[in-house]
Structure 1
Amino acid sequence: MARIDLNVPFAQKDDAKRLGARWDGDRKVWYVPDGVNPGAFGRWLPALPDINVRASNYFIAQSETHCWKCRELTQVFGFILPSGHEALEPDDEEDDRDVWYRHDEPTILNYVTELLPAVANRIKTMTRHYRVDFSKTTGSSYWMNHCEACGMKQGDFELFCEPDGAFFPMDEQAASQIVLQTFSEPFGGCADTSYGDHLFDSMRRT
């Protein structure tokens, strides 16, 4: 289970510490470590979005594509979760109940509708062209790429679901054009997941 960051006022830090919270000096935040029941920290829990995927760390993937509107080359971004991430899925034994299921292979996310605030802030520091917008095609809003030249929306289907799309490489050469930046911090979001041979090992790490 991914750790949970807390909103602890300075005056209450000793109370949080006594309950088992730990201090992350790099990020300047108190958090609930793995294995500790978060129930005791209710007064400090942040308001979180509904999520169906989570992980203790994640990648932001960067590639490029030609804008379908102006044909200029533009940078595009996405999220990849490593093996060991968890996804909320229907319980095989109880149809009306979802359970967290651990996956032993990576997944690339698409149609991301929710992100933990820390993750949203992280992607915002990398680009202003990946943001929430409304899609007439899906009739919904999600985090999507926009052309750096003309500002046109770049839909997730073409980038993530079409073979030879920016994030759907069909050979090792194409996969090597995708650059992965690793973030050793919790990920949480609501998104579609995609499994299969996406040639993750051939993508470049920074």
Structure 2
Amino acid sequence: MPRIDLNVPFAEKDEAKRLGARWDGERKVWYVPDGVATNVFGRWLPREPDISVRSSIYFIAQTINPCWKCGEHTSAFGFILPAGHEMLEPDDEDDDRDAWCRYDEPTIVHYVTDLLPGVVARIKAFSRHYCVDFSKTTQSSYWMNHCEHCGMKQGDFEMYCEPQGAFFPMDEHAASQIVLHEFAEPFGCNGGAVYGNHLFEYMRRA
């Protein structure tokens, strides 16, 4: 049975310890040790992400992009979903609920939050520089790229929405610089979807 990690605020760490939680100094997280009942840790148990985008298959897209701050070339990552992914949309027949709608063209997702734990594990295996941070521009926190050299945030708008951005190629050559790593497993997040001609067919499969 996989270990259960806990979301324990610093101010509540002594109480968690008293109830039997243990501290993993390497991963910097409290967890439930074997043989200890989980019911006493209810308030700290991880919640299921509240997702609005899902797919049974996804790609981690990888490319190189110059940092706007230091000018050095740094790795950049994003998520591409193939045709057949779904998004929650307002239900035309019921204003009080949403319905899953299927899309028959691929998309790039941006301003990503609430990633499924399995996807988090995958992206962390690629880079520690793609992580959640606060954006003054959007006044929100989301998963974003950071420069490998100077640590500066690399905002999603320039990468995904501006022509010639890291994930907005304008020609076949630029698209071929993007490498796609495929995972035949569930993807889920909250975020926005970018549609249009992103020349997906010219991106390289790993």
Q: 2:166 aligns to what?
A: 166
Matches within 5 A, 1:22-171: 47-171=47-171
Q: Distance in 2 between matches of 1:154 and 1:86?
A: 27
Q: Distance in 2 between matches of 1:92 and 1:171?
A: 38
Q: Distance in 2 between matches of 1:64 and 1:154?
A: 12
Q: Distance in 1 between matches of 2:116 and 2:176?
A: 29
Q: 2:186 aligns to what?
A: 186
Q: In structure 1, give the amino acid aligned to 2:169.
A: P
**Taking structure 1 as the reference length, what is the TM-score of the superposition?**
0.77
Query: What stretches of structure 1 move > 6 A for 4+ residues in a row?
Result: none
Q: Distance in 1 between matches of 2:124 and 2:144?
A: 12
How many correspondences in the alignment? 165
Q: Distance in 2 between matches of 1:136 and 1:89?
A: 28
Q: Secondary structure at the match of 2:63?
A: strand
User: CA deviation digits over 1:23-46, x for unaligned, max 9?
Assistant: xxxxxxxxxxxxxxxxxxxxxxx8
Q: 1:201 aligns to what?
A: 201
Superposition CA RMSD, Å:
1.8
Q: Distance in 1 between matches of 2:170 and 2:97?
A: 36
Percentage of matched positions with identical amino acids: 69
Q: After TM superposition, give the deviation of residue 58 of structure 1 in Å.
A: 0.3
Q: What 5-or-longer segments of structure 2 have no aligned partner?
A: 3-45
Q: Max radius of gyration: which structure?
A: 2
Q: Distance in 1 between matches of 2:203 and 2:71?
A: 25
Higher mean C-alpha displacement, 77-86 vs 93-102: 93-102
Q: Secondary structure at the match of 1:189?
A: strand
Q: Distance in 1 between matches of 2:119 and 2:59?
A: 11
Q: In structure 1, give the amino acid aligned to 2:135.
A: S
Q: 2:19 aligns to what?
A: none
User: CA deviation digits over 1:129-151, x for unaligned, max 9?
Assistant: 00000000100000000000000
Q: In structure 1, give the amino acid aligned to 2:81.
A: L
Q: Secondary structure at the match of 2:121?
A: helix
Q: After TM superposition, give the deviation of residue 47 of structure 1 in Å.
A: 3.3
Q: Distance in 1 between matches of 2:166 and 2:92?
A: 35
Q: What 5-or-longer segments of structure 1 have no aligned partner?
A: 1-5, 8-45
Q: Distance in 2 between matches of 1:71 and 1:153?
A: 13
Q: Distance in 2 between matches of 1:93 and 1:196?
A: 28
